A = this chain, B = another copy of it.
Amino acid sequence: MSPDPDRFLSDLHHLRSFGAEGAGVMRRAFSGPDIAAREWLVARIGEIGLTPHVDPAGNVFGLTDGPSLLIGSHSDTQPEGGWLDGAYGVIAGLEIARTAAGSGGPSISLVSFQDEEGRFGALTGSDLWAGRTTLAEADRYTDTDGASFADARHGLSHLMQEDFVDPGRFTGFLEAHIEQGPVLDASAEGVGVVTSIVGLRQLQITVTGQQNHAGTTPMHMRRDAFQGAARVATLLNERFTNIVTPQSVWTIGHIRLHPNASSIVPGRAIFTIQWRDGETDRLDRMERIIEDVLTEVARETGLRIDAGRLRNDLAPVPMDEGIQAALRAAADRHAQGRWRTMPSGALHDASNVSHLMPVGMLFVPSIGGISHSFDEDTAEADLVLGLRVLADAAEALAPS
């Protein structure tokens, strides 16, 4: 299969025009530009001889008859989004399905999921398709302005069908996406074959000390909650080094002191520790180290330290081995020495779809690691390289 780079780039730029804002895009789920973009995609699907199916969540499918490999991503954006993000994977799916349909090639369907970026939920469209939430629940989701998912999805009712597509008709799912991180760009590599979507855990830590006058309280009599938080942060860095891989990450991104005044010894510090890794076992070991560090700092300082698991834990999602092998072979063919295997540190629709069928993902570089920003971009040569790798893998994987 030889996809057409010019036709592909032309469609990618056409999709960019829906909600274009400078170099970026504002195309939130079910906004005017999003609905127009989905209408446009439905028309393209018809043109290439596939059957459009817009399900009750607003997911747009282009279906072949009989079993097929599914390729796609999402075309909704953040309030201020980049022009590629999931759009890249949707148009890659369109071009490969078109190439296959036009050449009597393998059976390839395509999809553009809805509300991946979480105007209402988070990955709402693929969540609904995978049965991880119900339409009744999702209809109660509201955006930050109070608009409901139930009302918003009426905007596509003229195209919507009442049923969801049967996942049993697909033999697997391929998702191409920009990396949204700096790894490929920094190493001048063209594509990344994703090994897993990392799992995520998060603890909210409350350090309780003694609020005191910052002038009259001698150092040795203080129980300073910020000093406890700083000690935890530095000790974690030391203790993690023995067990993490270069793909493990941990972040203290949020902290709140009480009373947060320069002349008062902080009596309380509340902060989050978030950590991500591709392996459940390593997530467990990191959690035990965190617990040990908290216990040690509490004993050392006389502070009370409480930790509560936040509800948004995510288990790691390994990519299908057969799909990874096909992607690796295709990457070697088109970009020998210029690709790598890597985990996805961000969440994707493929995570939900993995509950329905084998899935795989391919990354192209994000220049400067920038995403969710008008400045997001990828070199044209890498966009085309990713398309070719994906097409080769699809040819190897799809039912004929």
Contact = CB atoms under 8 A, between A and B. Distances in A.
Given A227-B233, A346-B215, A262 B257 contact: no
Interface residues of A, number: 59
A379 interface: no
A253 B214 contact: yes
Given A257-B253, A262-B254, A234 B230 contact: yes
Contacts of A345: 213-217
A108 B347 CA distance: 77
B257 A254 contact: yes
A226 B233 CA distance: 9
A186 interface: yes
Interface in A197-236: 198, 200, 202, 212-221, 224, 226-227, 229-231, 233-234
Copies in the complex: 2
Interface stretch (A62-70, A159-167, A176-184): A176-184
A214 B273 CA distance: 11
Contacts of A200: 215
Given A226-B253, A255-B255, A369 B265 contact: no
Contacts of A346: 213, 215-216
B246 A213 contact: no
Interface string A329-353: 0000000000000001111000000
Nearest to A200: B215
Given A226-B233, A234-B230, A249 B180 contact: no
A237 interface: yes
Contacts of A372: 213
A260 B266 contact: no
Nearest to A219: B249
Interface string A178-197: 01111100100000000000
A31 interface: no
Interface string A239-253: 000001011111111
A186 B221 CA distance: 9
A216 B251 contact: no
Contacts of A216: 179-183, 344-346, 369, 371
A122 to B, nearest CB: 11
Given A181-B213, A217-B181, A369-B217, A253 B249 contact: no
Contacts of A260: 253-256
Nearest to A310: B262
Interface string A260-298: 111111100000101010000000000000000000000
A227 B229 CA distance: 11
Given A217-B369, A219-B250, A230-B234, 10 more contacts: A179-B216, A213-B372, A214-B251, A214-B274, A215-B249, A216-B344, A219-B248, A230-B252, A253-B266, A255-B257
Interface of A: 179-183, 186, 198, 200, 202, 212-221, 224, 226-227, 229-231, 233-234, 237, 244, 246-257, 260-266, 272, 274, 276, 310, 344-347, 369, 371-372
13 contacts: A180-B213, A181-B218, A213-B345, A213-B372, A214-B274, A215-B347, A219-B244, A226-B255, A229-B230, A231-B234, A253-B260, A254-B261, A262-B274
